Structure 1
Amino acid sequence: GISYLIAAIGIGRLLTYGLTGVLSDKFGRKPLIMVSSVIMGVFLIGIPFSPTYEMAFVFALLAGISNSAMDAGTYPALTEMFPESAGSASVMVKAFGSLG
């Protein structure tokens, strides 16, 4: 069952990558990052209190959507902030994600 929940995070990411990229370009990076943080908060509060497996699956999908939105906001924002060292900025996102 845990494997399916982990897979749901990946499914949520894959289903929303294209949409979050468009939203990031249309509304900006900061709003998308803020919405992503709120969605992740919903996941972090909801997953331990899920009464059923299906509800936990929905929260895991939300986590994937949040990850996708965070990626769509942070990677472009950092590459715009550091155009000469976009590769280092990308590594920085991964490093702070790992710390989190």
Structure 2
Amino acid sequence: MLATVIILVGCQSVANYQANLQAWVGQSEQNLEASWGSPSSIALSGDLRLISYLQNDGAYVQGGYWAGRVMPLYCTTTFTIQNDIVIQAQFVGNQCQSY
């Protein structure tokens, strides 16, 4: 039962992060950068701008200190901008969570 609750809480926070990102769709690039700050990177693809924010929270050792595997804790969030408007938001990583 406790494991189920923990899993649901984890899924909820990722779902909340996705919902928070979707709220930016339709907003201006200027409002996005005013709220999120300077992006980690900007890429151009035709008439699209891909603005990415990287959150790096270090790492943890999975499986014990001596036989473990180091796992980075990160979240990369990318907003696709067209004509100064956010048209898409997506993320990848194991630390992409909102509450």
What's the TM-score, normalizing by structure 2?
0.32
Q: Comparing both structures, which one devotes a greater share of its residues to helix?
A: 1
Q: Comparing both structures, which one devotes a greater share of its residues to strand?
A: 2
Bigger Rg, which one: 2
